[in-house]
């Protein structure tokens, strides 16, 4: 089966279109004047229900499918509910891959995560490092589900010819992320903590871990542009890293956000809480060779995220 290049009249399904990445993908399509974008809500299209998934595909017959929907969260959420991070994400993937095959989708995209790589992976992490060592325990359930998705992509390609593009992004942040501390990712959580501390005139705040763990961050707008870029160019399920190739320590990130917020209190660290993987930085040489580079730097992206959070606070106060 040949996937081809997406046309503006093709029917394109974006799962998880209400989420941070999904909504950015929809916006990227609309900037390019695509006209037939399917964006079903969770209420009308429960991806965990195989029957509902089959009915939706039978009715709408998408040409291309972006598998963006997933149960996601930070360390706290993963530790609190590993069962659903593994089970829900696995069900979603099993149902979507089967429907893509059954209804002869031209090409699909499965969005992975850099957490698929071993905890002690050589840095920067290359695609060949998959399954070469134990995973990070604090998000193992989510990582296992993503690895299942990668294997499904490989097997459906080898057995049935279904083409799936498999980008592996680093930590994604930006417009559309939530700021619920129980479920949020590290950058959004830090933005909320620093803004609230400044507004409340707190003399100090305490953050999880030691601050020494290093992470690579990419803005969701760059991710969306990259997914469309790869969908038109990749013809195999070989994984490809998506990132900036640059990482920072959590302590450096906290200081950057504090500086932009204007928080002058003391930042304390709680080493009794986990850091997660010591370092997660991707080797993006394959992506660079294809001609893609992220455009939004971390400082600019943090400013945008701060603006998003302040707008949410303002709306809540007006309500």
Are the C-beta atoms of 96 and 53 separated by less than 8 Å?
yes
Gap between the Cα atoms of 285 and 298, Å rounded: 20
Q: Where are the beta strands (DSSP E) in 84-190?
A: 107-110, 164-169, 171-173
**pLDDT for the residue 207:** 96
Quick one: 182 exposed, middle or buried, by C-beta within 10 A (0-12, 13-18, 19+)?
Answer: exposed
Domains in the chain: boundaries: 12-173+217-242
221-274 pLDDT, tens digit per residue, is 999 999 999 999 999 999 999 999 999 999 999 999 999 999 999 999 999 998
Mean pLDDT of 58-80: 91
CATH of segment(s) 12-173+217-242: 3.40.50.720
> Which of 117, 142, 173, 263 is flagged as catalytic?
142
Q: Where are the beta strands (DSSP E) in 34-176?
A: 37-38, 64-67, 107-110, 164-169, 171-173
Range of weakest confidence among 12-16, 73-77, 125-129, 224-228: 73-77
Question: Cβ neighbours of residue 265 under 8 Å, at least 6 residues apart?
Answer: 197, 198, 202, 203, 204, 205
**pLDDT for the residue 79:** 86
**pLDDT for the residue 92:** 98
195 pLDDT tier (thresholds 50, 70, 90): very high
pLDDT at 75 over 70: yes
Q: Supply the pTM of this predicted model.
A: 0.94
Taking Cα atoms as reference points, which of 132, 22, 144, 26 lies closest to residue 78?
Answer: 144
Known active-site residue 263? no
Are the C-beta atoms of 261 and 306 separated by less than 8 Å?
yes
Range of weakest confidence among 35-44, 90-99, 106-115: 35-44
């Amino acid at each position: 089966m040949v996937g081809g290049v997406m046309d503006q009249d093709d029917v394109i399904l974006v799962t998880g279109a209400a989420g941070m990445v999904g909504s950015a993908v929809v916006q990227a399509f609309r900037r390019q004047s695509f006209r037939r974008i399917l964006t079903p809500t969770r209420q009308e299209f429960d991806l965990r229900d195989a029957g509902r998934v089959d009915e939706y595909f039978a009715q709408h017959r998408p040409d291309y499918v972006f598998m963006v929907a997933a149960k996601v969260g930070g360390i706290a959420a993963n530790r609190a509910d590993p069962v659903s991070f593994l089970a829900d994400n696995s069900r979603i993937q099993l149902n979507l891959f089967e429907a893509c095959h059954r209804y002869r989708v031209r090409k699909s995209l499965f969005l992975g995560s850099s957490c698929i790589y071993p905890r002690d992976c050589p840095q920067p992490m290359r695609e060949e490092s998959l399954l070469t060592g134990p995973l990070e325990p604090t998000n193992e359930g989510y990582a296992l589900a993503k690895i299942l998705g990668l294997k499904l992509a490989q097997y459906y390609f080898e057995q049935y010819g279904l083409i799936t593009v498999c980008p592996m992004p680093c930590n994604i942040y930006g417009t559309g992320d939530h700021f619920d501390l129980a479920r949020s990712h590290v950058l959004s959580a830090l933005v909320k903590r620093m803004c609230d501390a400044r507004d409340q005139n707190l003399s100090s705040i305490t953050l999880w871990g030691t601050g020494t763990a290093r992470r690579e961050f990419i803005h969701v707008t760059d991710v969306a542009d990259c997914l469309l870029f790869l969908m038109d160019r990749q013809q195999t399920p070989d994984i490809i890293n998506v990132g900036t190739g640059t990482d920072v320590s959590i302590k450096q990130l906290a200081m950057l956000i504090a500086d932009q917020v204007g928080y002058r209190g003391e930042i304390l660290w709680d080493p009794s809480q986990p850091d997660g993987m010591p370092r997660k930085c991707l080797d993006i040489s394959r992506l660079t060779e294809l001609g893609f580079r992220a455009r939004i730097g971390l400082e600019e992206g943090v400013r945008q995220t701060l603006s998003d959070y302040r707008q949410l606070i303002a709306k809540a106060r007006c309500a």
